[in-house]
Amino acid sequence: MPEVIVENIVASTSFAEKLDLDAIAQALEEAEYEPEQFPGLVYRLEDPKTATLLFRSGKANCTGAKNVDNVRKTIDIIADKLRKLGIEVYENNELKIVIQNIVAISDLGSELNLNEVAIGLGLENVEYEPEQFPGLVYRIDEPKVAMLLFGSGKLVCTGARKTEDVSLAIQKLTDELTSLDLLRR
């Protein structure tokens, strides 16, 4: 099984019924808030290295984490900072975190002939236009992910909601390519 490296996890949560972004932006010097350009407040952390978008609705999106523990840590840190500002936010155990997307990379360890791969995997699941983009897009229904395959054998998997799904999808792809004799190990 090729090594899988998670590059980014996008998760959503809700801190409260509503947030006063103007007050938060004034109180937290690290906050970036320019409502004329974007309706959300951006709050970046160095450890873990993440960025979180907070919205007036109380909802938030966290991006940049490389594992689910760092998503939880980010959400807890921000919730604590908001509480210290006197903002009522849900208790940490009430902060439901939903993983929206996991982006991971891997290397199949062998070069691929993408023309052969496109035909072998079935054109109904594949988008491959080498004049437009050097990679092949392969969509899998179970788990529901999209993979970008490159001639070098490197790949990007996106759309998973669980890290196990990334590994499962890459294993399925590896098995399929091996059975079609398109992956020489």
94 with 14, same domain? Answer: yes
Query: How much is the average pLDDT of 43-54?
Result: 97
Helix (H, G, I), strand (E, B) or coil at 121: helix
Query: How much is the average pLDDT of 145-167?
Result: 97
Diameter of the chain by CA atoms? Answer: 62
DSSP output for 9-75: EEEEEE-SS---HHHHHHH-TT-B--TTT-SSEEEEETTTTEEEEE-TTSEEEEEEESSHHHHHHHH
Q: Is 47 a domain residue?
A: yes
80 with 14, same domain? Answer: yes
* pLDDT at 19 exceeding the cut of 80: yes
72 with 23, same domain? Answer: yes
Q: How far apart are CA 126 and CA 115, in angstroms?
A: 11
Q: List pLDDT tens digits, range 62-97.
A: 999 999 999 999 999 999 999 999 999 999 888 899
Single out the residue of 69, 59, 71, 80 nearest to residue 15, CA to CA.
59
Single out the residue of 4, 1, 2 nearest to residue 105, CA to CA.
4
Would you place residue 185 in the very low, low, confident or very high pLDDT band (cuts 50, 70, 90)?
low
Identity at 69, one-letter amino acid code: D
CATH number at residue 46: 3.30.310.10
Q: List pLDDT tens digits, range 135-153.
A: 999 999 999 999 999 999 9
Report the chain's mean pLDDT, rounded to a whole number: 95
pTM of structure? 0.91
120 with 167, same domain? Answer: yes
Domain end among 53, 77, 99: 99
Identity at 109, one-letter amino acid code: G
Range of the domain at 19: 10-99
Single out the residue of 162, 147, 161 nearest to residue 2, CA to CA.
147
